[in-house]
Amino acid sequence: MMGSGKTTLGEQLATQLGYAFVDLDAYIVQREGRSIADIFEQQGQERFRELERQALEAVVREYEHAVISAGGGAPCFFDNMDFINQYGESIFLDVPASELAKRLLASNLQVRPLLAGKTEDELREFLDNMLEHRRSFYEQARHKVKGAAITSEQLSSLL
C-alpha cells in the first residue's frame, strides 16, 4: 500500500543484497519526463496503469538482479501479480491502515494523486477501504511481513 515503506525499505534492501534498486514510480517519471501527478492529471489513471505495466516489463528485461519497489496499485492491475511472481520474489508489506494514515498525513499528499486534497478523516476511510479492496492482490505475494516497524533485515531474511 501507499506509505507502507516500499521505496524506503526497497532501497535499503538493495544495498544489503548488492543489487540495483529501481523504484517503479521514479522509473516512469524519468522515462516520461513528468511527475506521477501530471500523468494522472493529463492522461488519467488508466494510462498510468499502462505505463506502469510497461515499466515493470522493461525493468525485468533490463536487470538480471534488482530490487523493484512497485507503486501500491501495481499488483492490482492486469496480471501484474502473476508477472511479478513469474520473474522474481515478492514481498507484501502488511502495515496497518492507521499507521499508513499517520505516515501519509506527515507527507505531501499532492505527490500521490489518489490522496491529493483529502482531509484526515477522508484519508483514513479511503485507506481502510482501499486496503480491504486490494488485500486479495497483495496476499498473492510470495512473502508477507506484518507490522508498523518493518526493517530491511526482516526482508532480506526471507530471501
The residue range among 5-13, 30-38, 47-55, 84-92 that interacts with ligand ADP, by the rule CB under 6 A, is 5-13
Q: Map residues 3-42 to x or -, x wherever contact with Mg ion holds by CB under 5 A.
A: ---xx-----------------------------------
Question: Pick from ligand S3P, ligand ADP, Mg ion, none: which does 107 bind, CB < 5 to 8 A by kind?
Answer: ligand ADP
Of 38 and 151, which CB lies nearer to ligand ADP in the complex structure?
151
Of 36 and 150, which CB lies nearer to ligand S3P in the complex structure?
36
How many residues does the structure list for the chain?
A: 159
Q: Distances from the Cα of 6 to the Cαs of 1, 86, 158, in angstroms?
A: 8, 20, 15
Binding to ligand ADP by residue 39, rule CB under 6 A?
Answer: no
Q: Which residue in 5, 10, 73, 75 binds ligand S3P (CB under 6 A)?
A: 73
Site residues (CB under 6 A) for ligand ADP, limited to 100-139? 103, 107
Helices 80-87 and 36-62: crossing angle in degrees, nearest 10, is 30
Strands (E), 61-156: 66-69, 91-94, 143-146
Helices 36-62 and 24-32: crossing angle in degrees, nearest 10, is 110
Identify the CA nearest to 109 among candidates 126, 131, 134: 126
Could you give the angle at the alpha carbon of 31 between the alpha carbons of 30 and 32, nearest 5°? 95
Is 49 part of any known ligand binding site? Answer: yes
Binding to ligand ADP by residue 3, rule CB under 6 A?
Answer: yes
Binding to ligand S3P by residue 72, rule CB under 6 A?
Answer: yes
Annotated binding site for substrate: 25, 49, 72, 134
